[in-house]
Amino acid sequence: MGNVSPDHGDDYLYWGVGVNLPFKLTDKATFAVGVQYASNDLDGADGDHLWFTTGLTVGF
């Protein structure tokens, strides 16, 4: 969560939340899927954003 108070123009609030779920594939590999959501109250801007993520972590 944050607040922006610029020198010129109105201030606005923005925030986001996300979840990532890891799945162990092997002792050295993990796959993850996630979903994130962000929003703001800035006039004239697209306020809501939803996106999905994936990831792979491999140790060696």
DSSP state at residue 25? E
Residue 35 has, within 13 A of its CA and on its CB side, a CA count of: 1
Question: Do the beta carbons of residue 20 and residue 32 sit within 8 Å?
Answer: yes
* Low-confidence residues in the chain, pLDDT < 50: none
Task: Output the pLDDT for position 39.
Answer: 92
Tell me the whole-structure pTM to 2 decimals.
Answer: 0.69
